[in-house]
Structure 1
Amino acid sequence: MYELQQHMQPRMKRGMRRKKERSKSFDFEEEKLQIMNFNNMSLESLPTFSTDLAIICKLDLSNNNLQNIPESLTARLLNLLVLDLHSNQMRFLPNSIGCLSKLKVLNVSANFIESLPKTIENCRSLEELNCNFNKLSELPDTIGFELINLKKLLVNSNKLMFLPSSTSNLVSLKILDARLNCLRSLPEDLENLINLEALNVSQNFRYLETLPFSVGLLLSLVELDVSYNNIKTLPNSIGCFKKLQKLRVEGNPLISPPLEVVEQGLHVVKEYLCEKINSSHESKHKNMSWVRKLVKCEKFNGYMRSKKQPQHEDDDFNLHQYHTASRLSTQSLVLGVFSPKRFFSHHRSSSFG
C-alpha cells in the first residue's frame, strides 16, 4: 500500500498542477474580455477599433446618431454578450447579427427599425430582446422555434398587428410586453408559455377585441394587463388562475364580467368567471375542449369522476371535482415540442433535438 501511494503521488501532483494551469488560463481569458462604452458621444459613424473585436464582451453604442452597423464589424464580435444600440437613428440591423452566438442581451429600442433580420434566430443564447419604440410591423415567423432561452421579449410601442404563432414556443419566456401596438389577436397556444409571469397587451385600443381561452392556462402568470382595448368579454378561464396577483382591465367596454364585479377586485372577478365555467351552457359546449384540458392538466381542486359513474347533462363539469395543478408544465412543453405547427413549418428547429 505504501509503495502504491508513493507511485500515485507524482501523478496526482501533475494532475493538480494541470488543473491549476487550466484555471489560470481561464481567468486570463476572462480578464482579456473588455467593455467598450461609446454612450452619448454624438457619433454618426463607428470609430476605428484598435483592439481585437473578439475580446469585447459588452458594446454600448447607445444615445448616438448611428444609422447602421457594418456587417463586417458585427461578424467579428465573437464573444459579445451585451449589445446596446438604443436611441440611435437605425432603420435596420445587419444580417451578420446572427453570428453573435453568445449574445444574451440585445437592446435596439428607440430607433426606426421596421423589421428584424431573420438571422436573429441564430442568436440562440439570447435572453433579453428589447425592441421598444420602433416601427416594427411584424416579427420573424419562426422566432419562437429558435430563441428558446429568451426570458424577456419587449416590443411595446410598435406597429405589430400580430405576434407570430411560434411565440407560443418560447418556453423560457417570463415577460412579454406588447402594449401600444395594433394587435388584432394573440396566439392560441399560450398555455405552452409555462414560465410566463407578466403579460402586457394593454393599449392596443380598438384593435384587440378578444383574448384566447388559453390565457387561463398560463400556470405561472402573476400580472396580466389588458387595459384600454376593445374587449367586451374576458375568457372564463381567467377564473382558473392560481398565482395571478394583478389584473388590469380598465378602459374596455366590458360586459362579462360587468363593471360592478370588476370594481370589487380580482378575487370577485375570479369567482364570477369560475361560476360561469360551472354553470354556463355556452362554456360547457363551445369551450368543452378547453375545459377538458383544464381537467387533464389538473388545474382545479377536487377529484375527477370515474368513467363508470353516471353523468348528467347539468353536471358534466363541476368545479369541485377537479384536481390541483401538478403536471401542466411537462404537458405544455410536450405540446410545444410536438406541435403540428412546428413540424409543418418551413424551417424546423433542431434546438429541441
Structure 2
Amino acid sequence: MMYDDQIRMDVRKKTDRRRSIEEEKLENVVDLSGMSFDSLPNPSLNLVMICKLDLSNNNLESIPESLTARLLNVVVLDVHSNQLKSLPNSIGCLSKLKVLNISGNLLLSLPKTIENCRSLEELNANFNKLTKLPDTIGFEWVNLKKLSVNCNKLAFLPYSTSHMSSLRILDARLNCLRSLPEGLENLINLEALNISQNFQYLETLPYSIGLLMSLVQLDVSYNMITVLPDSIACLKNLQKLSVEGNPLVSPPMDIVEQSLDAVKEYLSEKMSIGHGGSPTVKKSWFGKLVRCGTFNGPVIITTGPNIEEREGFIMSDYRSIDGLASPRYMGMFSPRRLFSPRNFFSR
C-alpha cells in the first residue's frame, strides 16, 4: 500500500511539473495579433517575463518607449502589418532579441539605437518606405543570418553590411539600389543573394562577387546589367543564377539560355584571356583566384535533394571556413589586394 501511495505521489509531482512548465510557456508568449488595436492597452502582465510578443495585424501607429524598455527578455518581437511610422529608441534595450519582424508598415528609417540589438539573427523589414539603413549596423550585428529589406526605397546598402560575416540570406529586391557595398567578399557564409528588380538603377555588379564562396543562389534579374563579371565563373557552389530581364551583352543571351554550366564556361574562358583578347588585363587577378583556391579549372554544377528551401531560408551541406574569417586571413580577400600589382600571396 505504501508503494502504491509513493507511485501516486511521484505521478502527481510529474503532472504538476509538466503543468508548471506549460504555464510558464504560456506566460512567456503573448499573442495580441489581429485585435484591431489603435493603441496598446495598459499591460497587466509582467513585461520582463515575456520572451515572445506578437502585435501583428493591428492598426498601431506607434509603440510606447516605456513598453519596449521593459521587454528585457524578449527574443521574438513581431509587429508586422501595422501603421508604424517609426520605432521607439528604446528598442536598443532589447539585448536578447533574435527575431524582429517589422514588415508591412510605413517606416521611413530605423533608429540608430537598433544597432544595440547585438543578438539579432533575423530582420524582416520588407514592405516599408525605408530610404536608408543605419550606417553602422553591420559592425554590431555580427550574429545576423537573414536580412530582408525588399520592397523599400533603398538606394544603397551601408558599407557595414559587408561586415555581417554570419549572414546567409540577403534579400534586397524591389528597391532603388545603384550598387552593392564594397567588401562584399567578406560575406563568407552568404548562400542566397537577391538584388532583382531594382530596374533602371542597378547597372553593374562588383568583381568581388566571385569571392562569395558559399553562394548557392544569385538573382540579379530585371535590372540594367549589360555585363556579368567574369568572376562569377569562380562561384563553385552556385546552383541557381537568374539574369532574365537584363540587357545582357556578355554573356550573350543564347549562352544564358543554354545552362548555368554554359554561362560559367563562357565567363571562365573570358577571364583566362582578358577583355578584348588581351591576356594582361585580368591575368594577375585570375592567378590570385587560382592560388587562393577560388578557381581551379572546369566547374561541375550539381543539384539535388541536398538543397532545402523553407520560408526563404536555404539549407545546404555547408562546410565551415571559420579559419578564413580570422583577421589574419580576411585581408587576403580584399579587392585592393586582389587588384594590386603586388603579389600578396607570394612568399
Name the residue aligned to 2:228: 234
Rounded Cα–Cα distance in structure 1 between residues aligned with 2:61 and 2:207? 42
Structure 2 residue aligned with 1:120, among 111, 114, 130? 114
Rounded Cα–Cα distance in structure 1 between residues aligned with 2:288 and 2:43? 56
Instruction: Verify the 8 A CA contact 2:83 2:106 in the aligned structure 1.
Output: yes
Name the residue aligned to 2:175: 181
Name the residue aligned to 1:65: 59
Name the residue aligned to 2:246: 252
The residue type equivalent to 1:294 in the other structure is L
Instruction: Verify the 8 A CA contact 1:82 1:106 in the aligned structure 2.
Output: yes
Name the residue aligned to 1:35: 29
Name the residue aligned to 1:44: 38
CA drift of 1:229 comes to 0.1
SS at match of 1:176: strand
CA drift of 1:300 comes to 2.4
CA drift of 1:138 comes to 0.5
Structure 2 residue aligned with 1:268, among 262, 270, 275? 262
1:284-326 CA-to-partner distances (Å, cap 9, x unmatched) read: 555456435423422123xxxxxxxxxxxxxxxxx58xxxxx9
CA 336–137 in structure 1, closer or farther in 2 if over 3 Å, else same: farther
Instruction: Verify the 8 A CA contact 1:169 1:336 in the aligned structure 2.
Output: no
Name the residue aligned to 1:147: 141
CA drift of 1:241 comes to 1.1
Instruction: Verify the 8 A CA contact 1:152 1:174 in the aligned structure 2.
Output: yes
Name the residue aligned to 1:82: 76
For normalisation by structure 2, the TM-score amounts to 0.79
The answer as to 2:286 corresponding to 1:299 is no
- Equivalent positions of 1:282-293 (< 5 A) are 285-287=280-282, 290-293=285-288
Name the residue aligned to 1:108: 102
SS at match of 1:129: strand
CA 41–287 in structure 1, closer or farther in 2 if over 3 Å, else same: farther
1:307-349 CA-to-partner distances (Å, cap 9, x unmatched) read: xxxxxxxxxxxx58xxxxx997644553658999xxxxxxxxx
SS at match of 2:123: strand
Name the residue aligned to 1:306: none
Instruction: Verify the 8 A CA contact 1:257 1:273 in the aligned structure 2.
Output: yes
CA drift of 1:237 comes to 0.4
Rounded Cα–Cα distance in structure 2 between residues aligned with 1:166 and 1:338? 18
Instruction: Verify the 8 A CA contact 1:298 1:328 in the aligned structure 2.
Output: no
For normalisation by structure 1, the TM-score amounts to 0.78
Structure 1 residue aligned with 2:274, among 280, 302, 305? 280
SS at match of 1:166: helix
CA 118–287 in structure 1, closer or farther in 2 if over 3 Å, else same: farther
CA drift of 1:161 comes to 0.3
Rounded Cα–Cα distance in structure 2 between residues aligned with 1:277 and 1:337? 23
Aligned residue pairs, count: 295
CA 86–102 in structure 1, closer or farther in 2 if over 3 Å, else same: same
How well do the aligned residues superpose, as a CA RMSD in angstroms?
2.6
Instruction: Verify the 8 A CA contact 1:105 1:129 in the aligned structure 2.
Output: yes
CA drift of 1:45 comes to 0.3
1:173-213 CA-to-partner distances (Å, cap 9, x unmatched) read: 00000000000000121111011000000000000000000
Instruction: Verify the 8 A CA contact 1:192 1:333 in the aligned structure 2.
Output: no
Rounded Cα–Cα distance in structure 1 between residues aligned with 2:55 and 2:320? 45
The residue type equivalent to 2:171 in the other structure is D
Name the residue aligned to 1:193: 187
Name the residue aligned to 2:212: 218
Instruction: Verify the 8 A CA contact 1:207 1:230 in the aligned structure 2.
Output: yes
Rounded Cα–Cα distance in structure 1 between residues aligned with 2:169 and 2:179? 18
Identity level (%): 65
